[in-house]
Amino acid sequence: MSRIEPAPEVGEDFEHILDPLTSHKVAHAADRRLGIIEAIGVLASNPLIGAQPSTTSAST
């Protein structure tokens, strides 16, 4: 299984995403936070999701 190592600024990004869920009293905020965590888990299991295709090709 791949391991995700978030960049230091990710914590700030999470604050920008999660704080409004609390401050605006969004319905089902806990479920939405859990969904974000689960999506990160999907990326850990499938690291090529969102990867840019290689622009170089191997010649055989």
Task: Rounding to the nearest 10 degrees, give the CA dihedral for residues 51, 54, 55, 60.
Answer: -170
Res 34: pLDDT: 92
55 versus 33: which is more confidently predicted?
33
CA atoms within 13 A on the CB side of 50: 8
Res 35: pLDDT: 93
1 pLDDT tier (thresholds 50, 70, 90): low
Per-residue burial over 35-57, b if 16 or more Cβ lie within 10 Å, else e, is eeeeeeeeeeeeeeeeeeeeeee
Res 45: pLDDT: 87
Q: What are the tens digits of pLDDT across the range 3-51? A: 777 788 888 888 888 888 888 888 998 899 899 889 888 988 888 888 8
Task: Rounding to the nearest 10 degrees, give the CA dihedral for residues 22, 23, 26, 31.
Answer: -10
Q: What is the rounded distance in angstroms from the CA atom of residue 8 to the CA atom of residue 59?
A: 38
